[in-house]
């Protein structure tokens, strides 16, 4: 009986030990899998693709396509003319803006000449002031001199009257003295009139200087307005020339154009895509799991296998690791702050460039699938 019990226990012991060992191994694998995966010398992913800078070329202005100067998939150089729009309207706008600029410049020149004329008027009025002051001085001097003659003739008249009273002089001498007195008194009155006239001229010229100076200030104030108008017309001319330039679409870089989206005679509006330019320099974007990028550093060597060319292995190096996981750059980034949550391993993009001197790399096209292998431990932590 005892032996049967021992045999029965032995029959359960072996499976139990095997189960416990398997459970231990499974727990060890699960608990250390991420560490083992991140410590691998070579990190590999097939979530990798050839990439290149692709520039959509669009119109900035509306118009009718006159020429499309490239064919589909044609190689172009930077500065090559690709598409030409009809530019009659835009040339007319440039001519109109140029005429407006010339008119604004003519207005500034006219204002400058008006200021020169106003300066001449001010100088003439100031000269009149100086002349009026000189006339006032001359009139005052003449009055003083004539008053002396009046005093002299008054004394002579009195002497002649005294002589007539004693019958020591003739009537003719008295009449001559009276006439001289009256003449000099008339001259004094005339000199006073000249003085008043000179003072009036002085006041008129001073008022003229004030008025002309104010008019000059008005012309000065117009300078800023006319200059601002010129700047506005010049800005409109620059805008018209810019719009004229937009009627020609040039290649911004060396590359290969994609399929043509427009044809001659087609009416396009701003934002219409006419071509896509693919640059010739390609690289690889490899999306590694977050558990694989622990030891990845710029400069790590890489090997690229291209699905389109079986058996071909290209050399490269890792140049950049993305600053965030790919999900963060999605149009709608995930928000896990909800009641239900399922943990998903994230992918982190890395950029791998090809080493120079590999002709096969020039045959690669953006979008091709590749397998990327990065020797992550080549650069120490």
CATH of the domain at 372: 2.40.30.170
The parent domain of residue 331 ranges over 35-86+255-378
In the chain, which residues have pLDDT < 50? Answer: 31-33, 378-381
- Residue 7 domain-assigned? no
177 & 263 share domain: no
272: in domain: yes
Structure token pair of residue 22: 């398997």
Tell whether 16 is covered by a domain: no
Q: Could you tell me if 325 and 271 lie in one domain?
A: yes
Is there a domain that residue 23 lies in? no
Looking at the fold, whether 231 and 325 belong to one and the same domain comes out as no
106 and 236 assigned to the same domain: yes
Residues 110 and 181 in one domain: yes
What is the Cα–Cα distance from 63 to 47, expressed in whole angstroms? 43
225-246 exposure pattern, b = at least 16 Cβ within 10 A, e = fewer:
ebeebbeebbebbeebbebbeb
Tell whether 136 and 56 lie within a shared domain.
no
Boundary-marking domain end, from 245, 264, 294: 245
Tally of domains within the chain: 2
Q: How far from chain centre, in Å, is Cα 363?
A: 40
Q: Would residue 125 count as lying in a domain?
A: yes
pLDDT of residue 381: 42
Beta pairing partners, 373: 44, 303
Domain boundary among 194, 221, 245: 245
Of 245, 265, 300, which marks where a domain is finished?
245
pLDDT at 296: 87
Determine the straight-line distance between the first and last CA of the chain, rounded to whole angstroms. Answer: 65
Residues in the chain: 381
Q: Are 102 and 83 in contact (CB under 8 A)?
A: no
- 294: closest CA among 271, 321, 314? 321
Tell me the three state secondary structure of residue 67. strand
Q: Is residue 231 part of a domain?
A: yes
Q: Of 212, 205, 208, whose CA–CA distance to 119 is shortest?
A: 212
Return the closest-CA partner of residue 110 out of 230, 25, 9, 214: 230
State whether 143 and 232 are in the same domain. yes
Q: Say yes or no: 186 and 233 in one domain.
A: yes
> Are 223 and 280 part of one and the same domain?
no
- 169-212 pLDDT, tens digit each: 566 665 666 666 666 667 666 667 776 777 777 788 778 777 77
153 with 202, same domain?
yes
Query: CA Rg, the chain, in Å?
Result: 53
Global confidence as pTM? 0.64
Same domain assignment for residues 321 and 183: no
Verify that 171 and 297 share a domain, yes or no. no
């Amino acid at each position: 009986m005892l032996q049967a019990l021992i045999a029965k226990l032995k029959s359960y012991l072996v499976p139990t030990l095997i189960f416990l060992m398997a459970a231990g191994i499974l727990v060890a694998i699960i608990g250390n899998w991420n560490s083992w995966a991140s410590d691998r010398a070579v990190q590999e992913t097939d979530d990798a693709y050839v990439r290149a800078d692709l520039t959509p070329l669009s119109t900035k202005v509306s118009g009718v396509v006159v020429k499309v100067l490239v064919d589909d998939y044609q190689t172009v150089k930077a500065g090559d003319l690709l598409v030409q729009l009809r530019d009659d309207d835009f040339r007319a706008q440039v001519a109109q803006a140029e005429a407006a600029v010339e008119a604004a410049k003519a207005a500034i020149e006219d204002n400058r000449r008006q200021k020169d004329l106003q300066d001449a008027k001010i100088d003439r009025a100031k000269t009149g002031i100086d002349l009026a002051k000189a006339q006032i001085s001359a009139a005052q001097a003449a009055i003083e001199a004539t008053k002396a003659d009046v005093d002299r003739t008054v004394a002579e008249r009195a002497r002649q009257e005294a002589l007539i009273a004693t019958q020591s002089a003739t009537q003719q001498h008295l009449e001559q003295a009276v006439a001289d007195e009256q003449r000099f008194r008339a001259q004094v009155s005339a000199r006073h009139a000249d003085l008043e006239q000179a003072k009036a001229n002085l006041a008129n010229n001073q008022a003229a200087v004030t008025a002309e100076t104010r008019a000059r200030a008005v012309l000065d104030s117009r300078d800023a307005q006319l200059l601002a108008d010129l700047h506005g017309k010049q800005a409109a001319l620059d805008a018209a020339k810019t719009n004229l330039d937009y009627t020609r679409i040039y290649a911004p870089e060396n590359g290969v154009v994609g399929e043509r989206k427009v044809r001659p005679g087609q009416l396009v509006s701003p934002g219409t895509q006419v071509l896509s330019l693919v640059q010739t320099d390609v690289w690889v974007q490899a999306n590694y799991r977050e558990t694989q990028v622990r030891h990845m550093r710029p400069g790590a060597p890489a090997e690229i296998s291209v699905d389109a060319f079986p058996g071909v292995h290209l050399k490269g190096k890792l140049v950049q690791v993305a600053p965030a996981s790919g999900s963060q750059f999605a149009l709608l980034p995930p928000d896990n702050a909800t009641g239900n949550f399922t943990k998903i391993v994230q992918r982190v993009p890395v950029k791998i460039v090809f080493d120079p001197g590999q002709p096969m790399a020039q045959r690669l096209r953006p979008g091709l699938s590749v397998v990327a292998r990065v020797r992550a431990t080549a650069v120490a932590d």
